[in-house]
Amino acid sequence: MTAEATGVRLDYDGPVATVTLCRPDVLNAQTPTMWRALSDFSRELPGNVRVVVVRGEGRAFSAGLDLSVAGAAGPGSFAELSCLPEQECADRIADFQAGFTWLHRPDVISIAAVQGHAIGAGFQLALACDLRVLADDAKLSMAEVTLGLVPDLAGTKRLVELVGYSRALEICATGRRLDATEADRVGLAALVVPNAELDGAVRDLTARLLANSRDAIVEIKALLAGAAGRTHAQQQRAEREAQTRRLRELAGRGE
């Protein structure tokens, strides 16, 4: 399907893939069709892609769920989902989540370039990425609670990992908006820059990532991603094993 039909586009520039939400007329509000396209992208990435940048066209990253679609009677609507058997509804949501979870797969680094609103599903899409570069006009909110819903696009664990349980609960249970300054202070942003400098900052970060060994970065990402679930002794062992693999490969002794 075309970007016009799905509302999302995938472009390549060597080792960099760019995912663009392209519904600027509705502030890149998201639909189930977009989530399916995002999931499809994960299977289309060439093996040489090392960095995935996620961005939104226009003045917003994403204003969240498109309520004109979710509130209607068609596929993916609240009405349709509520009528499904419980397991079928859960399975359908799992399909939606797949459009987000691939962004923290181990072999790529993903960067969300966030300007303007990142609300609900938009916030969760930014959280799905490994790194977030925020323009100084960014506004983030987990607004699902205002609709009587919960965040269900794989964003809750990511949020707790970044800001801790207590702050994550407050953010999700109030649905309030965080500006870029607060997002930076609580650990949601890798970098905050003036809006006009957002694209350049993402390019600079991408270049710095690409300047280093892909295999080393894959090992580093795995070490950090698994650290919370390991004891100190287990983490130290993981470090030793990862470094042994790197030394053997650099010496031409890898399997």
| Model confidence at 13: pLDDT above 90 | yes
| Model confidence at 212: pLDDT above 70 | yes
Q: Give pLDDT, residue 34.
A: 96
Backbone angles phi, psi at 84, to 5 degrees: -75, 155
Average pLDDT score, the chain: 95
| Model confidence at 71: pLDDT above 90 | no
Q: Give pLDDT, residue 255.
A: 61
CATH number assigned to the domain covering 3-210: 3.90.226.10
Q: What is the 3-state secondary structure (H, E, C) of the chain?
A: CCHHHHCEEEEEECCEEEEEECCHHHCCCECHHHHHHHHHHHHHCCCCCCEEEEEECCCCCECCECHHHHCCCCCCCHHHHHHCCHHHHHHHHHHHHHHHHHHHCCCCEEEEEECCEEECHHHHHHHHCCEEEEECCCEEECHHHHHCCCCCCCCHHHHHHHHCHHHHHHHHHHCCEEEHHHHHHCCCCCEEECHHHHHHHHHHHHHHHHCCCHHHHHHHHHHHHHHCCCCHHHHHHHHHHHHHHHHHHHCCCCC
Confidence class for position 254, pLDDT limits 50, 70, 90: low
- The mean per-residue pLDDT over the stretch 174-197 comes to 98
- The mean per-residue pLDDT over the stretch 162-167 comes to 98
- The mean per-residue pLDDT over the stretch 189-206 comes to 98
Domain regions of the chain by residue span: 3-210, 214-250
- The mean per-residue pLDDT over the stretch 187-196 comes to 98
| Model confidence at 4: pLDDT above 90 | no
Confidence class for position 46, pLDDT limits 50, 70, 90: very high
- Cross-strand bridge partners of residue 17: 12, 52
